Amino acid sequence: MTDDQARKSYEKALRLESEFSEFFTAIVQGDTPEEIYSKVKEIVRAQSGDSTNRRIWVPAKDKTQI
């Protein structure tokens, strides 16, 4: 990756974070895809409620209003 590509990628990430920050509930960092995947699973588990009250995440084409 060139310096210019890295700069553009970083600027795009900043714009996305700024535009969608209200939807972020965690920041995941890791050195390998496996480590990142493991951390994502931990966060989903933690944010899904206790074991007696698990929420189910399902994809939806339309945005649900709550």
For the segment 18-58, what is each residue's pLDDT rounded down to a tens digit?
Answer: 998 888 888 899 999 999 999 999 988 888 777 666 666 66
Whether the predicted model's global pTM rises above the 0.75 cut: no
Residue 23 lies in a domain: yes
* Token pair belonging to 22: 């209200």
Structural domain harbouring 30: 7-47
- pLDDT on residue 27: 87
Q: Is residue 65 part of a domain?
A: no
CA-CA-CA-CA dihedral for 9, 10, 14, 19, to nearest 10? 10
Please report the pLDDT score of residue 36 as a whole number: 94
Band (pLDDT 50/70/90 cuts) for residue 14 is very high
> What is the tally of structural domains in the chain?
1
* Assigned domain for 26 exists: yes
